[in-house]
Structure 1
């Protein structure tokens, strides 16, 4: 299946600190490419894979589930750990959820987590009907492109495959049940105006996590904040986070 132009994965060989970037549901690496390039310019090793079924057609995505997307990230983290002495995981929306799942599963192998508008709670009532709905409706309107910045756009699907969406509640339940295993530092960027993910996800994290969680509000962006007006705050904030929590200096700081 041909990959849409701009949706290709991004990789950069840098120093001893690696960062795995996780894009969101029905999105593509394009939504995180500027973030990845910013981290690469700072001397970091960056891995931004394209999740199975993404960046092609929603019909292909319909044949995948969350386990397929997570497996791709799990492999990418193993590859990153083989090349770097330390690894951080960062993600947008459902990518933020899967970044937290990687931290739950791999413990000390993940140095820290940065999540932008993470989705960890089922705040869309229709998803409770998805297991039955998938037999009668193949897709519903998409959620990509929630950006405030004029002229900015996200390369994502205009339709959401119901069969793939029906697998999300299982992932959310796993992340919620194991969130206590995340003892690494976690930085969350939350858009004040988000038309895709409701405040319940960050509220849940604040209620279950301790002092290792920091939440910063974004006042001039919608859901895809990595392509929006507050993107520079996210990029610089994540570098500051790495400098604060890595045990080795960034290559550019040597």
Structure 2
């Protein structure tokens, strides 16, 4: 077992209205590695009962990930950060302000709402209610619960967080991997392109997953996404191909 200060830390941040289940597959894989300390906090107001979001603020979400990162930093030699959806925007904030070793952004919500794919998803939802059939990765019941139970005040906090954190991406200098699902109805490819363009790192890469929806770790290409992340985190900067 490695000494405490030889540990490698990884902070995994879930998305808006979500919980650590969203990033659980990558957390479980990284926890198998010797000497890794992986942590995925529940953001205030999030979890199973979305009504608790009514009183939550974006400042609390920012504070939670700051404290989590600082705690990992005390225990680990290096700390990586992985952010999904809104968690990706929180991750850009952390990477711009703290000593992050590497950054991974997954369907990060610098921009949100993909009208073309969203319409397809709505048609699929109507079909599901008539036939009971859906593709394994569509998760229609989950999204309908989110739309039905999320307080409007929480949505306003989400919008504020995106606007407050978006400028920090231009201050990122660490190696960054951006992965975006092309079939994501909530976050468009535009978001990934924007982040790729403004991140100032000399080592950055953008991967588009053709069959992936928003819940990228719970879809058809989840294994490939996990492997891409592990390769990026475990390989040295000399081994990984640079994309500029």
Asked if structure 1 preserves the Cα contact closer than 8 Å seen for 2:114 and 2:186, the reply is no
Q: Which runs of structure 2 are paired with 1:10-21 in the superposition (5 Å)?
A: 16-21=7-12
**Cα deviation code 1:145-192 (max 9, x no counterpart):** xx9535978967522221011123332223332322100011011111
- The answer to which structure has the higher helix fraction is 2
Match of residue 62 from structure 1: 54
Q: Which runs of 5+ in 1 are unaligned?
A: 1-12, 126-146, 248-254
- 2:173 maps to 1:186: no
**Cα deviation code 1:170-218 (max 9, x no counterpart):** 3222333232210001101111111111222112113323443211111
Match of residue 71 from structure 2: 79
Asked if structure 2 preserves the Cα contact closer than 8 Å seen for 1:86 and 1:110, the reply is yes
Cα deviation for residue 93 of structure 1 reads: 0.6
Q: Which runs of 5+ in 2 are unaligned?
A: 116-133, 239-244
| Cα RMSD after superposing both structures | 2.7
CA distance in 2, matches of 1:201, 1:213: 15
- 2:103 maps to 1:113: yes
Q: Which runs of structure 2 are paired with 1:33-48 in the superposition (5 Å)?
A: 33-43=24-34, 44-48=36-40
CA distance in 2, matches of 1:155, 1:199: 22
Asked if structure 2 preserves the Cα contact closer than 8 Å seen for 1:96 and 1:115, the reply is yes
Match of residue 218 from structure 2: 227
Q: Which runs of structure 2 are paired with 1:138-149 in the superposition (5 Å)?
A: 149=136
Match of residue 212 from structure 1: 203
Name the stretch that deviates more: 172-181 or 188-197: 172-181
Asked if structure 1 preserves the Cα contact closer than 8 Å seen for 2:51 and 2:150, the reply is no
Asked if structure 2 preserves the Cα contact closer than 8 Å seen for 1:123 and 1:200, the reply is no
Name the stretch that deviates more: 76-85 or 147-156: 147-156
TM-score by length of structure 1 reads 0.75
Match of residue 234 from structure 2: 243
Cα separation, partners in 2 of 1:245 and 1:75, compared to 1, 3 Å: farther
Match of 2:159 among 163, 169, 176: 169
Match of residue 104 from structure 1: 96
Cα deviation for residue 91 of structure 1 reads: 1.5
Asked if structure 1 preserves the Cα contact closer than 8 Å seen for 2:12 and 2:40, the reply is yes
Match of residue 133 from structure 1: none
- 2:23 maps to 1:32: yes
**Cα deviation code 1:16-71 (max 9, x no counterpart):** 21110000000111111121011111222100111111113222111102111121
Aligned length: 212
Match of residue 10 from structure 1: none
Cα deviation for residue 246 of structure 1 reads: 7.9
